[in-house]
Amino acid sequence: MDTRDILLALDIYCEHDWDKTYNTILNKDCDFYTNENIMLRIEAERYAILAEGYKIVVLTDSEYPKVISNSSAKPPFVIYYKGDLDTVADRYSYQLPNVNPKRMFID
């Protein structure tokens, strides 16, 4: 599993909650990787997100928008978006997009 897969799994496992994800990383509390049921749930949710037409970019990806990573003390670990990522970054830089408070889903 590479860093991208780990961040995506952590984001789903922590219910897209930034603080939970951060604390899981900080405490190195990654026992969920050994639980097959949890990993199946994570994989199912990832496929459901993709099936809804969302694309995924994680904080460590080179294409992750700098305007988003630099605009917050807590940039989202994962952004789920539709459309063009540059347009998403532009909209984000002018105003906080309409998102679920626990998730960084941008339509």
Which residues, in sequence order, are CB contacts of 36 under 8 Å at separation 6+? Answer: none
Reported as a single tens digit per residue, the pLDDT across 32-71 is: 777 788 888 888 988 998 898 888 999 999 999 888 888 7
pLDDT at 104: 61
What global pTM score does this model have?
A: 0.78
Which residues, in sequence order, are CB contacts of 66 under 8 Å at separation 6+? Answer: 89
Q: Taking a C-beta distance cutoff of 8 angstroms, is the pair 105, 99 a contact?
A: yes
Which strand (E) or helix (H) includes residue 92? helix 85-94
